[in-house]
Amino acid sequence: MRVLLLNAGSSSLKCTLVESEGAEVLARAKADWAGAVSRYEREGPGDARVAEDVSFRRAGDAARRALDDFGLTPSAVGHRIVHGGSFTHAVRITDSVRSHIAQLSELAPLHNPPGLEALAAAEELLPDVPHVAVFDTAFHQTLPPEAFTYPLPRTWLRNWNIRRYGFHGLSHEYAAKRTAEMLARPVEELRTVVCHLGHGCSATAVLGGRSVDTTMGFTPLDGLMMATRSGSVDPGIIAYVERQHDLDAIEIERTLNHDAGLVGVSEVSADMREVLAARAAGHERARLAVDVYAHRVRQAIGALAVTLGGIDALAFTGGVGEHAAEVRALACRGLGCLGLVLDERANASCHPDADIATRGSRGRILVIESREDLAMLVEVMEVVGGQA
């Protein structure tokens, strides 16, 4: 079976056409509008390669372009949906499933709407094939109550389904399994912290292949500092700016989602590459932004390692995690107390998948290519099997 996998993020869309047997990639495309200019790249089918600046900045337009370029009809389509609420596994998309995803858009305003846009475009062009929703929250359904429960009134928790859901589950699950492969150890015996660092960022404690704690929470706004999102902040700040500076809830939410994080602190860009370039040129706000970003990653690694009772491996993945050696180096400062010692030379020159810890490091530090598409493929095939 040919399976088309659509991965809509907050600032990008990845499209991968895969042969289910052997997971052979037939074609892939990516549209990225994190920076000032939208970029579109495609490889395949065959030897075809495209790289160009484009005008579109929406997931639906990107999906239409990629499907037109691929020119091959898949047997099934898998869609990454960031917030799945109570869904614990992938499901075939129906009207009720689509409606539920739309209702959750309020909790994932940067993610579920683009996912729905890509879904609408794909259903329009491919109306006769099964479409499957694969949820980024599903991997975190194994969180124990002490990890997913917020210290809030029980009526809030019970009546409004408020809990820690966690996100980036596909990436965390794949990276944890790939870590075990690289270390030639069973995933069931490993204590792993995975840091998914991209436009969105989160870290997860994986014990024996299962998520037991994670930094993102009720929404993808929680946790680590991100490209445009604040991550965790004192909730008293929200009450303060609302009460003392006449900001309403809608404006506060928009600011925390779109104008905070890297772009807010640096006042340079939401793109880590541009912020690092400004830092190297002596831009003080860019320097501070990267330092705050790395500080929060380092804090999360330490907290999650304690949750695990120790750490066997630390894995970096995602666009920043895979390609920003300077960020990895800053995040790993001081981790020797956990038995994690970075090899500076290996870190500076590595290409995923790689081990960048020193030979004598008790725990391993890995850089792993994010392959959410492979995790998606497994789940799509479990839903459609040979029935498509």
Query: Averaged in consecutive runs of 10 residues, what is the pLDDT profile of the chain (388 residues)?
Result: 92 92 93 87 88 92 93 94 91 95 90 93 95 96 98 96 95 97 97 96 98 97 97 97 94 96 97 97 98 98 98 97 98 97 98 97 97 93 77
Respond yes or no: is residue 136 known to be catalytic.
yes
Please, are residues 347 and 329 in contact by the beta-carbon 8 Å criterion? yes
Asked, for residue 165, whether it belongs to a domain, the answer is no
Same domain for 127 and 205, yes or no, is: no
Domain boundary among 73, 104, 135: 135
Domain count, the chain: 2
Give the dihedral sign, CA 274/278/279/285. negative
Same domain for 121 and 201, yes or no, is: no
- Who's near 206: CB < 8 A, 6+ residues apart? 172, 176, 190, 191, 192, 193, 194, 212
Asked, for residue 177, whether it belongs to a domain, the answer is no
The catalytically annotated residue of 136, 271, 343, 373 is 136
Asked, for residue 278, whether it belongs to a domain, the answer is yes
Q: What is the CATH number of the domain that holds 309?
A: 3.30.420.40
* Amino acid code (one letter) for 239: A
Same domain for 193 and 93, yes or no, is: no
Question: What is the reported pLDDT for 5?
Answer: 97
d(CA 230, CA 217): 13
The DSSP secondary-structure symbol of 131 reads: E
SS3 56: coil
Asked, for residue 148, whether it belongs to a domain, the answer is no
Asked, for residue 384, whether it belongs to a domain, the answer is no
Task: Write out the residue range of the structural domain in which residue 116 sits.
Answer: 2-135
Q: What is the pTM of this model?
A: 0.91
Question: What is the reported pLDDT for 35?
Answer: 76
Asked, for residue 162, whether it belongs to a domain, the answer is no
Same domain for 363 and 222, yes or no, is: yes
